[in-house]
Amino acid sequence: MRGGFCHAIILSSIVNERTIMATKVYETVDLELMDGTVISMRPLKISLLRDFMKKFDTIAEVADSNEKSMDILVECAQVAMKQYKPELADDRENFEDVVDLKMVYKIIEIASGIKLDAEGNEAVAGILGTN
């Protein structure tokens, strides 16, 4: 019995040591929506990132239409809302009432790493017709 107890203490020490050594691989960003609500954002979980990327990939098909491009960006941001603020994920009207275009760009950047603003990726700007 004594040997088992000793092994349990050693194993517990190893587990505790690993917990202390955990590394955070992302930054959490707080974004204040237009209604004053603050949401904490970090990169999307893989399950949501897949849905996000499927939607984002369709933007090249509508690059000649600013309205359709904006619709896709809003839909991508709403996919991200499933992780950040689920009640905005399925309520487009409410979502559009609490964000502006710069916020949509920021949500997309934090969620996926895709930078869309004027200083961002020129290739993406070309797809969006904003070059």
Q: What is the pLDDT of residues 42-60, one digit of tens each?
A: 999 999 999 999 999 999 9
3-state class (DSSP) for residue 29: strand
Q: What is residue 23's predicted lDDT score, i.e. its pLDDT?
A: 73
By residue range, what is the domain housing residue 114?
A: 26-128
The closest of 111, 69, 68 to 89, measured between CA atoms, is 111
Residue 17 inside a domain? The answer is no
Residue 9 inside a domain? The answer is no
Q: Report the distance separating Cα 29 and Cα 46, nearest Å.
A: 18
Residue 11 inside a domain? The answer is no
Q: What is the mean pLDDT of the chain?
A: 83
Q: What is residue 27's predicted lDDT score, i.e. its pLDDT?
A: 84
Q: Residue 34 corresponds to which amino acid?
A: M
The closest of 23, 22, 83, 29 to 51, measured between CA atoms, is 83
Residue 1 inside a domain? The answer is no
Q: How wide is the angle at C-alpha 42 spanned by C-alphas 37 and 43, nearest 5°?
A: 135
Number of structural domains found in the chain: 1
Residue 57 inside a domain? The answer is yes
pTM: 0.73
Q: Report the distance separating Cα 92 and Cα 113, nearest Å.
A: 23
Q: Is the pLDDT of residue 22 over 90?
A: no
3-state class (DSSP) for residue 39: strand
Residue 5 inside a domain? The answer is no
Residue 32: exposure state from Cβ atoms within 10 A (0-12, 13-18, ≥19): exposed
